[in-house]
Every structure is written in structure tokens, then in C-alpha cells.
Structure 1
Amino acid sequence: MDFQIPKKVERIDEDIQRHELKYHNKRVAVTKEFTFDAAHHLHCYEGKCKSMHGHTYKLVITISGYVNDIGITVDFGDIKTLFKEEIDAKLDHRYLNEVLPNMNTTAENMIVWIWEQLDQRLQQIPEYQDRKARIEELKLYETPTSYATLKREWMEDE
């Protein structure tokens, strides 16, 4: 492979026109991963998780939508802000049994609560409503090999 230094940096309105920035009209999903640390224990469970313990959770957020005039569906920085304000601020370095609604703090219960928090906030952002942005999938890892998955179609009424 022959590596080359660009001869010229592309300039907007000279080398590429603004109407060319949006290449398509397809729905596209973007995904971002985050971690947070928290402690919990499980009720009515006979196993080691009945005792208080902690996890470094990993949350994988996938949001889809239609691109705007410059070809962006959802800005990765905006996904980070959603996570930081709606999830991290409420759960990081916390005792989950104390801060979540009354529930057993299983990954299966937590992922639905997380979906509800993120979806409610996403619906309040007008520019993303214009692009029909929506959560498509969440994955919540308790360990590197154990996780819960939630998909859009599963959240819709059956």
C-alpha cells in the first residue's frame, strides 16, 4: 500500500458543497459504550449475589435515526451527555438497592429502567425528534462475559 500525504485540505464551499454533506436518506444506528461502578445485592436469591457486592457495569447504547444536513444521526458527544446526566449521575458509585425504584437489582430489571430514563430524555430533544431518533438496543454487562440485552421491539407492546 502506498501512503500519501494529502496535497490539499478539502474546504467547504470550494471543494465540497454543503448540499453534498448529506449522502443518503437511510436510517443509521450509532453505538457508544460506557462504564460505571456500583454495589447491590439480590433479594430472594440463593447464591453469592445475595450478599452485597460490586460490579464495573458496561452499558452499550445504540440509537438510530436519519441523518441531518451534515450527515450526522446522533452526535456521540450527545450520547455521552445523555449517559452522564441520566445514568452515571444516578448510579455511579452508588448502592443500587437504595437509588433505583423498588425492584430486585438484576441486570434484567435495571436495563428496562435505564431504557426508560434514556428514552424519556431523548424524546425531549427537538432536533433528534426531527431525525426520528430512537433507542434500538441496550446491553448492560455485569461482568465481561455476562450481560442483559434489550431491543426496541421487545419494549413495544405485544
Structure 2
Amino acid sequence: MYGFRIVDKLQKIDVDIQKEQLRYHKKRVMVSKEFTFDAAHHLHNYEGKCKNLHGHTYKVIFGLSGFVDERGLMMDFGDIKDIWKNEIEVFLDHRYLNETLPPMNTTAENMVVWIYEKMTEALSQDERQKQYHGVRVEFVRLFETPTSYAEARREWMEVE
């Protein structure tokens, strides 16, 4: 059986590990972060329950890839959260989506592409490109219910 163990000696930079050892590799890696938001919408030109005003607790999952910096860090999860909170979620959370999104039918299929575009736009800013070493959106997955989602992938978004 494994028991709780207190570390004998806390590793120290420049003593137990050198700064040039922090980056283990130079490969592209992907990090992922998920968020939820609550919103109301209705669908146009649709026969079924969703033609009526209703709401969902949506879940969004981002997959972002890039290269690690000298610390071995590709992108801080807190920075992804800041982009989400300040540049995307403000249009979605506790909103009537038919009003706050560009003119579109507010299907998961349309919304996931809009969210993908917003994150791509946020990451393409010059200062972020310099800071995050080739970061790009690999995928966005938008769950409308716990078992139903739409997905946008980079390889699909870059071709017509």
C-alpha cells in the first residue's frame, strides 16, 4: 500500500535543475480547456420544440496547440480563461443568442464556427503570437446538451 510521503527536499532552480533543462522537447503540443455558459435561443425555419424560446447550459471545449517556451509551457490555462471571459463569453453567457450573435440561425453548428473564429482572432493578435510560440486553434467542441455537440476543426476551417 502507498502512503502519504512528505518530499525530503524541494527541488530548486539552478541547484537541482538548470534553466535549460526546463524545456524537455521542441514538439508541438495541445492543451485543452473547457467552459460552460447558460443562454437562451430559438431556431428559425425549424419544426420542433426548438422553434420556441428555450435555454441550455452549454459546454465549450477548446483544443489549442503550439510550441513550449523555455520553461516548458505552451500557454497558461489562466490566459485561455482570460480570453474566454473577456472576448467570447461576454456575447454568450446569460444572453439571448439570437440577439447577441451575428445574424444566423443559432444552431450548435453555426455557433461552434463563430466561437472558433473568435478564439482564432484573439490568438492571432501580434502580442499573443509572440508570447505563445505558434499557438493555433485545433478544435472547438460545443455541447448543447450533455450528449450532443457540434465541432469545428482547424483542418475543416482552413479549407472551403
- Normalised by the length of structure 1, the TM-score is 0.96
Task: Tell me what 2:22 maps to.
Answer: 21
Which residue of 130, 151, 155 corresponds with 2:157? 155
Percent sequence identity is: 58
Which residue of 136, 139, 156 corresponds with 1:137? 139
Cα deviation code 1:57-94 (max 9, x no counterpart): 00001100000000011110011011111221111000
Task: Tell me what 2:99 maps to.
Answer: 98
> Hey, what's the Cα distance between the residues in 2 that align with 1:119 and 1:86?
11
Question: Where in structure 1 are there 5+ consecutive unaligned residues?
Answer: none
Task: Tell me what 1:64 maps to.
Answer: 65
How far did residue 126 of structure 1 move? 2.7
Letter of the aligned partner of 1:53 in structure 2?
Answer: H
- Is contact 1:33–1:59 with CA below 8 Å preserved after alignment? yes
SS of 1:78 mapped into structure 2:
helix
Task: Tell me what 2:38 maps to.
Answer: 37
- Is contact 1:74–1:128 with CA below 8 Å preserved after alignment? no
How far did residue 137 of structure 1 move? 0.6
Question: Where in structure 2 are there 5+ consecutive unaligned residues?
Answer: none
> Hey, what's the Cα distance between the residues in 2 that align with 1:30 and 1:128?
16
Letter of the aligned partner of 2:153 in structure 1?
Answer: K
> Hey, what's the Cα distance between the residues in 2 that align with 1:126 and 1:18?
24
Aligned length: 158
- Normalised by the length of structure 2, the TM-score is 0.94
